[in-house]
C-alpha cells in the first residue's frame, strides 16, 4: 500500500459531518441510554456494524482518555448492543486489562472472569428498576443486563453504581459536540 496524501482540514470535517448526519438519522432507530442527571462532559463512543447493520452504540459520560494518561474523574460508558450483554461485558473486562483473543493469557483469564460470581445490582432504566449483573470493585466496575430486545453494558470508573440511573436518549448533539471537541484536541486544532 502506498500512502499518497491526507485529508485537508476542510475535507476531514466534511467527512465528519456526513458521519454525524448518519448518527443523527440512526439515533431514533436504535435504543441509546444516557446517565440521568449527568452534568459533565458527554462524548460519542463507538458505533459498530455487521453487514451494514447497526449492532452497538456507545455513549460516554466523563473525560475520555485520548492520550493514554488515564482518566482522573468519574466516567460512565453505556453501550447498547444486539449481542449478548454478559458476553459483551466480559470482552470489555478483558480488553481493559489489555488482552485480545490472540494473547496467550486470554482464554485462562476469560474463564477466570466468567467463573467469578457476579453481584446483582439494581439500576433504574427509564424509571423502572432493572436487575444487572455486576463485576469489578469500587474503583472500576462493569454491569450488564438485557433491556427489551437489546443488551446494555455499563462500564464505570470512580462513579458508584448506586448513582447510576439510565434514561432513553435520542438527542445526540451533546455527544457529537463532545466528540468534535475531543477530535479538535487530538488534532491540535
Look at residue 2 and tell me if it is in a domain.
Answer: no
Distance of CA 138 to the CA centre of its chain: 19
pLDDT score of 4: 58
- The structure's pTM equals 0.88
Residue 77 DSSP code? E
Range of the domain at 39: 9-187
pLDDT score of 5: 63
Tens of pLDDT, residue by residue over 67-103, are 555 567 899 999 999 999 999 998 888 888 787 778 7
User: Mean pLDDT, 10 residues at a time, over the chain (189 residues)?
Assistant: 69 91 88 95 92 92 66 88 93 82 81 84 97 92 96 95 96 94 86
Domain count, the chain: 1
Distance CA 49, CA 56 (A): 7
Look at residue 88 and tell me if it is in a domain.
Answer: yes
Amino acid at each position: 500500500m502506498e500512502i499518497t496524501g491526507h485529508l485537508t482540514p476542510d475535507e476531514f470535517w466534511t467527512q465528519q459531518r456526513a458521519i454525524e448526519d448518519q448518527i443523527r438519522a440512526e439515533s431514533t432507530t436504535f435504543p441509546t441510554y444516557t446517565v440521568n442527571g449527568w452534568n459533565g462532559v458527554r462524548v460519542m463512543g463507538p458505533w459498530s456494524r455487521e453487514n451494514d447493520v447497526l449492532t452497538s452504540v456507545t455513549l460516554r459520560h466523563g473525560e475520555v482518555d485520548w492520550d493514554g494518561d488515564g482518566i482522573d474523574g468519574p466516567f460512565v460508558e453505556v453501550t447498547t448492543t444486539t449481542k449478548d450483554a454478559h458476553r459483551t461485558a466480559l470482552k470489555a473486562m478483558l480488553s481493559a486489562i489489555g488482552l485480545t483473543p490472540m494473547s496467550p493469557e486470554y482464554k485462562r483469564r476469560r474463564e477466570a472472569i466468567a467463573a467469578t460470581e457476579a453481584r446483582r445490582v439494581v439500576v433504574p432504566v427509564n424509571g423502572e428498576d432493572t436487575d444487572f449483573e455486576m463485576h469489578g470493585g469500587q474503583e472500576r466496575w462493569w454491569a450488564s443486563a438485557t433491556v427489551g430486545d437489546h443488551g446494555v453494558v455499563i462500564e464505570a470508573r470512580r462513579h458508584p453504581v448506586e448513582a447510576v440511573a439510565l434514561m432513553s436518549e435520542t438527542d445526540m448533539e451533546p455527544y457529537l459536540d463532545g466528540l468534535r471537541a475531543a477530535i479538535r484536541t487530538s488534532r491540535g486544532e
